[in-house]
């Protein structure tokens, strides 16, 4: 009787299958402090209980991306332990704030399956829902990953690729009841620019760079109880494709979000993840930079105090972003690009 966690292979998944993931996790002020030490985030509402209360929150909520990583981490042993690549995200909605003391659990449903033509792998689409101790949804998102087959000969399932939204609709963003950003003071961020000050197509270089250390990305990834082996085992990875441990892609997302404070300092919360790709792996020693483009400006139904900015944030390694690197003249993605993230933030309006 084998007792180890073997993870699922492509043929273990069935359309409609529901997977209740292990390891409920109470997040605390300790996690918030570690998150700050790891990323140096300065968004005021997550930094200050007083600022958050002033806006109608119970207290400073956890950073949205910390909640994302914790909810995501639980899915790894069941969904992606035998994955080759995490291919994409869609339809991610941060439905309500996560506070210190909340206990998070995740349930996933298989919403798509398609075997690859090489018969060795297939794409698994799952919708994962993170809930708190009251059973309320805090995060709901889709991801898809390329997962190995246990046996290339096993039969392919009926292919099914789910319809995925191009972006989360503004009406679907989760604004907690009782919250009012009319009283938002730009003094909190030291940056004067509010919703009205951003234009679609505008691009912002976030200027600062941030060098990754092995201890940092390992501590972050363990904090999220993400068990993907490539992040932790140099003894194996030194023989692998890159010769070293690979940084969890979500660590880059959090670095990029923290860097984006410089130019987007009033983007007080992440409301949605519309899509995203980890374009290249990152490693300890890489210095991460980022720039953002405003993809859309959306009023939120019934709200005059806050609007939604749809952003594309691109992160690079060892390359400053003053010229907004993405695609070269040949149409190929610049090899320095590591992340291309499409997401929606909340930003107070000037009222």
In terms of Cα–Cα distance, which of 176, 164, 168 is closest to 136? 176
Cβ neighbourhood burial of 204 (10 Å; 0-12, 13-18, 19+): buried
Cβ of residue 156: shortest distance to a copy of itself, in angstroms?
27
Q: Six-digit token pair at 326?
A: 């993405």
Instruction: Judge contact between 230 and 240, C-beta under 8 A.
Output: yes
- How far apart are alpha carbons 95 and 335 in whole angstroms? 35
Q: Six-digit token pair at 207?
A: 């200027």
- How far apart are alpha carbons 17 and 13 in whole angstroms? 7
b/e code 282-308 from CB counts within 10 Å (16+ = b)? bbbebebbbbbbbbbbbebeebebbbb
Cβ of residue 233: shortest distance to a copy of itself, in angstroms?
4
Q: CA 347: distance to chain centroid?
A: 18
Cβ of residue 315: shortest distance to a copy of itself, in angstroms?
13
End-to-end Cα distance, the chain: 65
Identify which of residues 263 and 348 has a Cβ nearer to a copy of itself in the complex.
263
Identify which of residues 168 and 308 has a Cβ nearer to a copy of itself in the complex.
308
Identify which of residues 123 and 292 has a Cβ nearer to a copy of itself in the complex.
292
Identify which of residues 33 and 351 has a Cβ nearer to a copy of itself in the complex.
33
Identify which of residues 318 and 340 has a Cβ nearer to a copy of itself in the complex.
318
Identify which of residues 45 and 168 has a Cβ nearer to a copy of itself in the complex.
45
Cβ of residue 143: shortest distance to a copy of itself, in angstroms?
19
Cβ of residue 162: shortest distance to a copy of itself, in angstroms?
25
In terms of Cα–Cα distance, which of 143, 137, 82 is closest to 111? 143
Cβ of residue 296: shortest distance to a copy of itself, in angstroms?
17
């Amino acid at each position: 009787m084998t007792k180890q966690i073997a993870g699922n292979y492509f043929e273990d998944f069935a359309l409609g299958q529901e997977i209740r993931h292990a390891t409920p996790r109470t997040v605390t002020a300790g996690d918030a402090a570690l998150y700050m030490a790891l990323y140096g985030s300065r968004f005021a509402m997550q930094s200050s209980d007083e600022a958050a209360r002033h806006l109608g929150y119970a207290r400073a909520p956890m950073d949205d991306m910390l909640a994302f990583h914790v909810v995501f981490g639980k899915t790894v042993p069941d969904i992606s332990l035998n994955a080759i690549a995490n291919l994409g995200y869609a339809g991610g909605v941060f439905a309500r704030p996560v506070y210190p003391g909340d206990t998070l659990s995740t349930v996933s449903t298989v919403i798509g399956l398609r075997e690859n033509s090489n018969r060795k792998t297939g794409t698994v689409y799952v919708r994962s829902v993170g809930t708190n101790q009251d059973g309320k949804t805090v995060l709901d998102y889709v991801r898809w990953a390329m997962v190995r087959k246990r046996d290339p000969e096993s039969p392919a399932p009926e292919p099914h690729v789910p319809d995925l939204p191009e972006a989360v609709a503004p009406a679907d963003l989760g604004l907690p009841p009782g919250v009012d950003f009319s009283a938002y003071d730009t003094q909190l961020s030291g940056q004067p620019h509010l919703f009205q000050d951003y234009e679609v197509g505008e691009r912002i270089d976030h200027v600062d760079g941030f060098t990754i250390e092995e201890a940092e990305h390992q501590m972050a990834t363990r904090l999220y109880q993400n068990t993907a082996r490539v992040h932790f085992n140099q003894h194996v990875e030194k023989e692998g494709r890159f010769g070293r441990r690979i940084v969890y892609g979500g660590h880059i997302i959090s670095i990029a979000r923290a860097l984006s404070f410089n130019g987007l300092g009033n983007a007080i919360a992440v409301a949605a993840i519309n899509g995203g790709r980890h374009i290249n792996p990152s490693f300890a020693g890489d210095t991460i930079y980022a720039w953002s483009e405003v993809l859309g400006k959306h009023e939120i139904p019934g709200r005059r105090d806050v609007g939604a900015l749809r952003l594309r944030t691109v992160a690079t390694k060892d390359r400053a972003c003053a010229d907004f690197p993405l695609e070269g003249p040949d149409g190929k993605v610049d090899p320095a690009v590591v992340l291309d993230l499409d997401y929606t933030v909340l930003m107070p309006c000037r009222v």
